[in-house]
Amino acid sequence: MIMYFTKGFLLLHTLLVLLLSQFDTLQDTLTTSKPIRDGDLLVSKGETFALGFFTLGESTNRDTSGVLSIDLHGNLVLYGEDRKKSIWSTNIVTNSNDNIILAQLTDSGNLVLFLNETSEVLWQSFDYPTDSFLQGMKLGLDRTTGLNRILTSWKSKDDPGIGNFSFILNTNSSCPELFLYKGNILWWRSGHWNGIGWSGIPTLSSNDSVMNFNLFNNEYETSTVWGLRYPGASLFSRLVVNGFGSIHRFVSAISDQEWDILGTVPLDRCDNYGKCGAFGKCQVQNGTEFECTCLPGFEPRSPSEWSARNATSGCVKKHGGASICKSVAEFVKVENVKFPDSSFARVDEKLSLKECERRCLENCS
């Protein structure tokens, strides 16, 4: 059997029902004297999460087994079968030799390494996510430690190595957004935080959503965390970034053994970043009509490319647009669009709407 353990990889509860019957006693805690080996499971007290080794579906190397334990230095360490060479370690440093260090799998799915006598957390898997975003897990920057938590896709469904897609919280702007990248190419964005949810994902801002997002943006952190809108509901939910560039939102009832997809982004081709270029608007058409149009007062930068249904060069102001801009008394209302990407913008929250309008009309670029 091939072994694989990542920083926080969890076998979710749909597998637990099938697996727990194989064990007479269940443990949720690792100690120096109680490791887990290939074939064992670490199970949270509420039996909602389990951690262990698993076989990759297309793997041909099935002869290796592993051990996950705490070494004499207090680190969580993954060993090969002979336990002579570590494959992975938490690599922490602690001066507390008198305290016993334990690792516990909690009912939130977080694997926590801590000092037993003081409960001081030394390391936790929620700080090192892989492809899954669980309830209570934070995404974003911890300014006190410099730790930036991001999600990364697997290479494929059978290869849990780091894939091409990464899901991050943009922390460069006064208006944070969730970004999905393919390598270094921006693939999708959520729209800005509006105080309730992400403006480009209307379902997350409605009362119909089962998820409730929060944003923390202060001197200590810029991060987002989510929970269930109805905490008493017997539900599990998770977000997963897959190797095809999609983020799936799964939900499952405790009594159910199936995960249902509740939503996916990008939703359609107009959800892809920059589909119609600068100052372009995208709207999916049912017929043969091109989905890209220019915003009012703009025209295609390259009419020949536009006629060939290539809108990547975007739109530019129509001739005389600057003088027209300064003479008008109001803005044009454009509905059903995301606010422009403002990754490097700064917001003056003290500015009134009238003053904002006046400044915009003074600088039509």
- Tell me the pLDDT band of 180, cut-offs 50, 70 and 90: very high
**By the 8 A CB rule, do 176 and 243 touch?**
no
- Per-residue pLDDT at 332: 81
pTM of the model: 0.84
pLDDT 10s digits, 110-165: 999 999 888 899 999 999 999 999 999 999 999 999 999 999 999 988 888 899 99
Residues 224 and 304 in one domain: no
Q: Mean pLDDT score of the chain, rounded to an integer?
A: 82
What range does the domain containing 232 cover? Answer: 129-267
Cα radius of gyration rounded to whole Å, the chain = 25
> Quick check: bond before 176 cis, omega within 30?
no
Residues 169 and 259 in one domain: yes
Phi, psi of 238 (to 5 degrees): -160, 155
Give the residues across from 241 on adjacent strands: 247
Residues 114 and 180 in one domain: no
Residues 255 and 298 in one domain: no
pLDDT 10s digits, 182-211: 999 999 999 988 888 888 886 655 555 667
Residues 118 and 133 in one domain: no
Last residue of a domain, one of 208, 237, 267: 267
Residues 118 and 136 in one domain: no
Provide the number of structural domains found in the chain.
3
pLDDT 10s digits, 98-108: 568 999 999 99
Q: Can you give the CATH number for the domain in which 141 is found? A: 2.90.10
Last residue of a domain, one of 88, 106, 123: 123
Residues 251 and 139 in one domain: yes
Residues 102 and 186 in one domain: no
Residues 319 and 352 in one domain: yes
- Per-residue pLDDT at 23: 52
How many Å from the N-terminal Cα to the C-terminal Cα in the chain? Answer: 61
Residues 260 and 144 in one domain: yes
Residues 210 and 95 in one domain: no
Q: Please count the helices (runs of H) and the strands (runs of E) in the chain.
A: 4, 26
> Once rounded to an integer, what is the mean pLDDT over residues 282-304?
89
